[in-house]
Homo-oligomer: A and B are copies of this chain.
Amino acid sequence: MTTTRIQRYADLIVHIGTNVQPGQILYVLALPEHAELVRALAKSGYDAGVRYVDVQYVDPHVRRTMIERADDEVLTFSPPWLVERYRAAADGGALVMIAGEDEPELLADLDQARVGKARTLDALDELRRGQSGRTLSWTIAAWPTSGWAQQMFGEPDVERLWEAIAATVALDDDDPVASWQAHTAKLRERARRLNELRLDTLRYDGPGTDLTVGLLEAHRWVGGGVETTYGAFHVPNMPTEEVFTTPDRRRAEGTVRSTRPLQLGGTVVRDLEFRLEDGRIVDVSAASGADAVRAQLETDENGARLGEVALVDGESRVGKTGLTFFNTLFDENATCHIAFGNAIVFGTELEDVAPDDLEAHGFNLSSIHTDFMVGGPDVTVTGITRDGSEVPLLVEDVWQL
């Protein structure tokens, strides 16, 4: 990891990921093990003309101690200053969140009900408000850590992980900014074609999977990025390979087998399977981590309903690495995925609907949003239009439109 390469990466995150505008405040949310990238982001931010770079380090060990020892009511406590900070960020700020834990299984031996509950609810509500209302220009990007590399490769080969991350974000392309512009244009074109189809339902067929998911009548396919209300096109995930939209919370039936491990609050969930009835996940099994999933599903009354469906083909730069990253940012971009929990307003045409009225449209509201991976060469995804005709979308990981 040379200094100049790290700085190029930070520049890419700031310019493509957040597309920060002069005079904005650039917020960075990181773990202590991300300090090297955080410091490069600060330089990129000031060089891009931001007013102030506002860094928050969350110490996962302090969080572990809180989950272990604090009173129940503290698990969901947001310090008022944190609500204020996220409120200010949501109202016109830019935010970089960094993924890549050095101790990804740090919370695995704790009471998973407490781990699942431990969320700064009021503060996160502010961030969600900024994301849904498109007043926050945000991105999630990754930093290679020793423990993460250990988890992926069985040895702490950080350089190998760094190479893999760099490949997925086009860092070593001749002109990474141009590569990103072409890439997001391709994803936007996919979303445009899907929107033309006016689909009613998606069907997934594969080993262990026989699932239909109804789409919201007002669904909108989105890919590549999002434009803020003030006109800044930004890329919320780096890498990103998906086009996604919003399911109807009332319509999902069948069984689905996850095709990749899922990293969830310090636990790795393997061989996850769900059965769904009337839009709700009613049965969970997994070789490991089932308790962590159940705790999430039970977070609130809509935790077990679906909030997102996303399509990714075999051309994905993430998929092409051939790696399982044990990290949703990457694994969800390797292949098709579905999320349970909260839906995303800009994956709909309901942006002007009052929050209290969203649910009547079939939009799911929850305090969680968790993606799990369902795609791969053995899984066929078919769209069913409103007039009942079937349109192949993905066959053997090849994009069909």
Contacts and interface: CB of A to CB of B under 8 A. Distances in A.
Interface centre among A39, A46, A62, A85 (most CB of B within 10 A): A62
Contacts of A47: 69
Contacts of A71: 51
Contacts of A59: 35, 38-39, 42, 55, 57
Contact of A84 (B51, B53, B80): B80
B69 A43 contact: yes
B39 A62 contact: yes
A39 B59 CA distance: 8
B66 A42 contact: yes
A378 to B, nearest CB: 45
B79 A62 contact: no
Interface residues of A, number: 33
A65 B52 CA distance: 10
A52 B66 contact: yes
Given A80-B88, A81-B85, A42 B61 contact: yes
A234 B240 CA distance: 52
Given A79-B54, A88-B79, A39 B66 contact: no
Contacts of A69: 43, 46-47
B80 A62 contact: no
Interface in A116-159: none
Contacts of A85: 79, 81
Interface string A59-78: 10110011011110010010
A32 interface: yes
Contact of A46 (B32, B51, B70, B81): B70
A6 to B, nearest CB: 13
A82 interface: yes
B65 A39 contact: yes
A65 B43 contact: yes
B61 A46 contact: no
A11 to B, nearest CB: 14
A36 to B, nearest CB: 9
B62 A42 contact: yes
A77 B52 contact: yes
A57 B55 CA distance: 9
Contact of A65 (B42, B57, B81): B42
Given A46-B69, A69-B46, A70-B51, A62 B38 contact: yes
17 contacts: A32-B32, A39-B59, A39-B62, A42-B66, A43-B65, A46-B65, A46-B70, A51-B70, A51-B71, A51-B74, A52-B74, A53-B65, A55-B62, A79-B88, A80-B88, A81-B81, A81-B88
What 10 A-B pairs are tightest by C-beta distance, nearest first?
A81-B85, A46-B69, A57-B57, A81-B84, A42-B65, A39-B61, A42-B62, A81-B81, A84-B84, A32-B32
Interface of A: 25, 32, 35, 38-39, 42-43, 46-47, 51-55, 57, 59, 61-62, 65-66, 68-71, 74, 77, 79-82, 84-85, 88
Given A42-B66, A52-B70, A81-B85, 15 more contacts: A25-B79, A32-B35, A32-B57, A35-B59, A42-B61, A42-B62, A46-B65, A46-B66, A46-B68, A55-B62, A79-B88, A81-B81, A81-B82, A81-B84, A81-B88
